[in-house]
Amino acid sequence: MPVPISQMWTVATYVLKQKLRGRKRYPFVLMLEPLFRCNLACAGCGKIQYPAHILKTDLSPEECFKAVDECGTPMVSIPGGEPLMHPEIDKIVEGLVARKKYIYLCTNALLLKEKLHLFKPSKYPAKKSITIFPFAAKVATNWPSMAFAKP
């Protein structure tokens, strides 16, 4: 998947700003995990091993925005758990698009058909993108010990 020139420019500008501020270490991509629940149960997945009370927990959109604003990276990756199981994932994505972030929403794609309509095209087509990245589905279908989790 090619990276848009606008994204390259935004990232280059961000890196340059960090260098001008004399920062040797700085965040590059925020991994925002608004929940750890998943509708798959892949062997070896560390996320779904959390205790039940943690698996029931969702970050609110406001908590997500606070983390994103504090971190300041131009790119935000949203893995999980399965992000499409979050009841307010559309609000979270909308808030990040409004903040002009480049978003990589990493889904196993099981809920994609049901949830895709929640995501509106960005107002900033040349600058912002949302990528639905179903790598986990590919991995899971090749994974002999894959099992479906209880809903």
User: Where do contacts with ligand SF4 occur on this chain (CB under 6 A)?
Assistant: 38, 40-42, 45, 47-48, 80-82, 108, 136, 140
> What is d(CA 39, CA 48) in angstroms, rounded to the nearest whole number?
10
Residue whose tokens read 């798959």: 40
Q: For residue 35, what are the contacts with CB-CB under 8 A and spacing of at least 6?
A: 55, 57, 58, 59, 80, 81, 82, 83, 85, 86
Contact 84, 113 (CB under 8 A): no
Of 73 and 108, which CB lies nearer to ligand SF4 in the complex structure? 108
Least Cβ distance, residue 139 to ligand SF4 (angstroms): 7
Of 45 and 76, which CB lies nearer to ligand SF4 in the complex structure? 45
Least Cβ distance, residue 105 to ligand SF4 (angstroms): 13
Q: For residue 117, what are the contacts with CB-CB under 8 A and spacing of at least 6?
A: none
Least Cβ distance, residue 102 to ligand SF4 (angstroms): 21
Least Cβ distance, residue 144 to ligand SF4 (angstroms): 14
How many residues are given for the chain? 151
Of 28 and 135, which CB lies nearer to ligand SF4 in the complex structure? 135
Of 47 and 99, which CB lies nearer to ligand SF4 in the complex structure? 47
